[in-house]
A and B are shown apart, each in its own frame.
Chain A
């Protein structure tokens, strides 16, 4: 029996009067890769941002319902702790442009004012960059600015920055949509490596990607969670008509 890490019940989210996530119930198992797919505007990104409480930062944004991390209500915790436990990687690579590669990886500690001995910092940087398969590429240029890297490297740097904080869950908001195909495949390979230590939730509008990388897939349509199943089942034998239509490309 696999344990559930994220559990939401009757979860709703809105922007003002615009109800974008409707009554979502989902159980996300630990150390799995979950793909969240659906057409544009279906509420998948909004749902993702609700998990680590980034949604509420937008003026006028509201949400209600149950969202639990390890049986603890995320909305009863302080958002700072939530975000330390549930990391996030964004659509566009966003390394801190004023910091070096080294400082970018350690940013979660450095900028939060957590003092660590140098040896431990070095170790975290090396471990995190190794996890994102970047250590060999950048170990000689750790003091260069993060913004000098290529787009794909920047995105992996952002993943390393998130991994460095040792979260339990990492949310990816269309992590490869701003990357070229080669960088995309590098990042996708990473997902499999990261799965052993973390739970990954990946929002993507790319069905092939969902099919390639995920264990389970959730399909959102017009704010509703239409179907949530093993990825294989989902792509070969969807139960819902709308999923069927989406997968076969009848609407997008």
Chain B
């Protein structure tokens, strides 16, 4: 092996090291670029006025996104109320009954559900809740009827379906890591099963479960597609979950494609708020998982 050859080899090695540096840095770029661009375009639009007013009609300047903020919060709250109990219970079931047939199908379906495009979930919610339907009961001409119509709750339903797999799997994974001796300790004290779960297993695994919940909320915060034909959007402030409601992603979708400068400004400001919301949720999740972690 001569000196020239070794230089070539060192050069290649050096070049490769640089390459992985550069590519790792390239992963940072999209987030930095998005942050930079949105903050630059959005920060000037945000003020108190922007947060507490609803959009003005075309031609009037100003206006805010209060209706979308309130709408997003309500829709996500309702979705969480639907998805969190079901998700945690299913996760508990999966970790307790690892080999049962139901567990197999439940695991499979949550895995598939995770990959189902959000627009498809939206369509399902549309067909079940938004489109009017009526099923004859077969006696006395009685029918089960759904009047249908766009509503915030149908949007929440679609988002809840999207939250489920994340909560179920993170709960299952967290609880699976807990030692069996913990459960045995509780059972040996004569605790009934539900108390073992609610007083011992879930409290010890709470940080993992919560982080799954927070991540699922962060995940659905920006979902637009399923809301397009469920919550629909609303130019006014509404708190009635049986009626159409505005949300941040819907507002961005509708206003960003409009030709009016005032509406474009609203869309930029709303994007920034949405971005901060998701960023905050992610950081908050990291903090609580660390803070609430139970040392085994």
Q: Do A and B bind each other?
A: yes
CB distance from A158 to the nearest CB of B (A): 7
Chain B residues with CB under 8 Å of A95's CB are: 185
Chain A residues with CB under 8 Å of B186's CB are: 96, 111
| Cβ contact within 8 Å between A54 and B187 | yes
CB distance from B18 to the nearest CB of A (A): 46
| Cβ contact within 8 Å between B191 and A97 | no
**A20-28, A82-90, A209-217, A235-243: which one contacts chain B?**
A82-90
**Residues A68-106 near B (CB distance < 8 A):** 80-84, 87-88, 90, 92, 94-98
**Cβ contacts A39-61/B at 8 Å (1 or 0 each):** 00000000000001010010100
Q: Is residue A145 within 8 Å, beta carbon to beta carbon, of the partner chain?
A: yes
Q: Is residue B181 within 8 Å, beta carbon to beta carbon, of the partner chain?
A: yes
| Cβ contact within 8 Å between A90 and B296 | no
Chain B residues with CB under 8 Å of A87's CB are: 188-189
Chain A residues with CB under 8 Å of B204's CB are: 96-98
| Cβ contact within 8 Å between B294 and A57 | no
Among A52, A98, A112, A145: residue with most chain B CB under 10 A = A98
| Cβ contact within 8 Å between B294 and A90 | no
Report how far A107 CA is from B295 CA in the complex, Å.
18
Main SS of the interface on chain B? helix
| Cβ contact within 8 Å between A161 and B187 | no
**B137-145, B153-161, B195-203, B270-278: which one contacts chain A?**
B195-203
Report how far A57 CA is from B192 CA in the complex, Å.
12
Chain A-chain B contacts (Cβ-Cβ < 8 Å), number: 73
CB distance from B148 to the nearest CB of A (A): 45
Among A52, A81, A97: residue with most chain B CB under 10 A = A97
Q: Is residue B52 within 8 Å, beta carbon to beta carbon, of the partner chain?
A: no
Interface residues on B, range: 20 to 34
Q: What is the chain A residue whose CB lies nearest that of B186?
A: A111
| Cβ contact within 8 Å between A113 and B195 | yes
Contacts A59-B99, A111-B200 known; A145 to B188 CB distance under 8 Å? no
| Cβ contact within 8 Å between A83 and B190 | yes
Q: Is residue B182 within 8 Å, beta carbon to beta carbon, of the partner chain?
A: yes
| Cβ contact within 8 Å between B189 and A97 | no
| Cβ contact within 8 Å between A83 and B295 | no
Chain B residues with CB under 8 Å of A162's CB are: 188-189
Chain B residues with CB under 8 Å of A94's CB are: 179, 181-182, 184-185
Contact of B185 among A81, A96, A165 (CB under 8 A): A96
Report how far A50 CA is from B190 CA in the complex, Å.
15
| Cβ contact within 8 Å between A80 and B190 | yes
Q: What is the chain B residue whose CB lies nearest that of A112?
A: B191
| Cβ contact within 8 Å between A107 and B189 | yes
Q: What is the chain A residue whose CB lies nearest that of B179?
A: A94
CB distance from B187 to the nearest CB of A (A): 7
Q: What is the chain A residue whose CB lies nearest that of B183?
A: A57
Chain B interface residues toward A at CB < 8 A = 99, 179, 181-182, 184-192, 195, 199-200, 203-204, 294-296
Ranked 8 nearest A-B pairs via Cβ: A84-B190, A83-B190, A88-B188, A94-B181, A108-B189, A111-B199, A94-B185, A98-B294
- For this complex, 17 residue pairs linking A to B, each with C-beta atoms less than 8 Å apart, are A57-B184, A80-B190, A80-B192, A81-B190, A82-B190, A83-B187, A87-B189, A90-B181, A97-B295, A98-B294, A108-B189, A111-B189, A112-B190, A112-B192, A161-B185, A162-B189, A165-B190
15 other A-B residue contacts (CB within 8 Å) besides A92-B181, A111-B191: A52-B188, A83-B190, A84-B190, A90-B185, A94-B185, A96-B185, A97-B296, A98-B203, A98-B204, A98-B294, A108-B189, A111-B195, A111-B199, A112-B191, A112-B195
